Amino acid sequence: MVGNVADIPEHAGLVVQIGSRSIGVFRIGDQVYALRNVCAHQGGPLCTGKVFPALRAEILPTGKVREYYDYEQMIVACPWHGWEYDLASGECLADPSKRVAVYPARADGDSIVVSVPD
């Protein structure tokens, strides 16, 4: 148990310390996510960044491009340089070979429960 669900800010994460790890906890609807608070780029405090829907684009039949927000995929952007990570998988959107650790997390009533390996 690392805190209360109500402590998680809107469109942002709650950063908690679990052992030696700094971890950000996020909530989208009923789903809770937990990610390591260290960006794979230069070690920035990833989970102090804001949450956004992923921006996508489609090529229209006219050949023009339409950009739109995809609320099915929420991301956190590192405040140092903007690297984006999928909240669920920890994968970097621009390069899936880069990722941050994610941890099983859930809401148990009003409480947030995060499981981290020893």
Partner 1 sequence: MARRGYLIIDADAHYLEPVHELAEYLDEPWRTRIQGVSPSRLLPRALGDRMLQGRIRRDDVDYGAAIGDSSKGQVLETMQRLGVGATVLVANRLANFGHVSSRDLVVALANGYIDYMLENVASPEEGIYTMPVLPWQEPAEAAAIVTRVGSHPAVVGVCFMTSGPNPPLGDVRYNPIFEAAQEHDLPIVFHSAPGLTLVEGSSPVDGFQRLLEGQATGFLISNIAQLTSILIQGLPERFPKLRFLFQEAGIYWVPMIMQRLDEYYLMRREEAPLLKALPSEYVLDRFHFGTQPLEAPKNPRHLEAIMDMFDGRRRCVFSTDYPHFDFDDPVVIDRLAFLTAEDKQDIFAGNAQRLFNFRKGGVQPWESTWSATSRTSQNTPA
Contact residues for partner 1, defined by CB under 8 A: 41-44, 49-50, 52, 77-82, 84, 97
If we measure between CA atoms, which residue out of 116, 117, 92 comes closest to residue 25?
116
Nearer to partner 1, 50 or 111 (CB): 50
If we measure between CA atoms, which residue out of 101, 118, 117, 108 comes closest to residue 34?
101
Question: Pairing between strand 111-114 and 3-4?
Answer: antiparallel
**Least distance between partner 1 and beta carbon 96 (Å):** 12
Nearer to partner 1, 52 or 103 (CB): 52
Nearer to partner 1, 7 or 11 (CB): 11
**Least distance between partner 1 and beta carbon 118 (Å):** 25
